[in-house]
Amino acid sequence: MFNPLQNTNRRISPSVLFLVAVTFLLPASSGMAEYADVVLNRHAEAEGVRPVIYPHWFHRIRFRCKVCHHELGFEMKVGANDITMAAILDGKFCGMCHNEETAWGLEHCHRCHSGLPGLKTGIRGGDKAGGPGDY
């Protein structure tokens, strides 16, 4: 795929930068979902349940990033964690906390499986940087 942003040398012209910035900044104003809501729909809809919406902003009010992305081992890249319902029931991923102790348990399917049909996995809400977190 042609990528206009590759091979930009350090003296990137202001007009290019401006165009790039505008391209990413403009669509943001029509985004509605909360900034940093994560849609997880790699398996859910195919298996007949609503896509999962993970409210990232809600969780960071209660835990530092370090807890999930270091202690609990979540990769900081949407889609890079192979989260399945079986793994959650085994106490992995969301199941490390949604266990009736740290937070409410897994019988409340509808609190997680709350998305509209057809959503694609990815971070939502006026994301102003392109692509998945890339490193």
Partner 1 sequence: MRTVTIPFLFAVTLLAVTLCVTPSQTQAAAAGVGADAKATEASQPPPVATPEQAATKAKGANTFNRLMKPKSERNPAQAADGIHDPDNPGTPQLQPPKEAFSSLATSNAGNYINWVQSLKTNAVSPRYDRLDPNAEALILDLDIVREVKGSMPDVVYPHDRHTAWLDCSNCHPDIFIPEKGKNTISMAQILMGQKCGVCHGKVAFPVSECRLCHSKPKATAAKPK
Residue with tokens 């057809």: 118
Q: How far apart are CA 27 and CA 48, in angstroms?
A: 31
Q: How far apart are CA 55 and CA 65, in angstroms?
A: 13
Q: Does 94 bind ligand HEC (CB under 6 A)?
A: yes
The tokens for 134 are 């890339």
Q: Does 85 bind ligand HEC (CB under 6 A)?
A: yes
- Collapse the DSSP code of 40 into the 3-class scheme (helix H, G, I; strand E, B; otherwise coil) and give the result: strand
Q: Does 68 bind ligand HEC (CB under 6 A)?
A: yes
Residue with tokens 């902003």: 57
What is the closest distance, in whole angstroms, from the C-beta atom of residue 54 to ligand HEC in the complex?
4
- Cα first-last separation, the chain: 19
List the one residue from 15, 48, 100, 110 that touches partner 1 (CB under 8 A).
Answer: 110
User: Would you give the DSSP letter of residue 15?
Assistant: H
Q: Does 93 bind ligand HEC (CB under 6 A)?
A: yes
What is the closest distance, in whole angstroms, from the C-beta atom of residue 26 to partner 1 in the complex?
8
- The footprint of ligand HEC (CB under 6 A) covers 10, 12, 17, 21, 38, 40-44, 47, 49, 52, 54-56, 58-60, 62-63, 65, 67-69, 72, 74, 76-81, 83-86, 88, 93-94, 96-98, 102-104, 106-109, 111-113, 123, 132-133
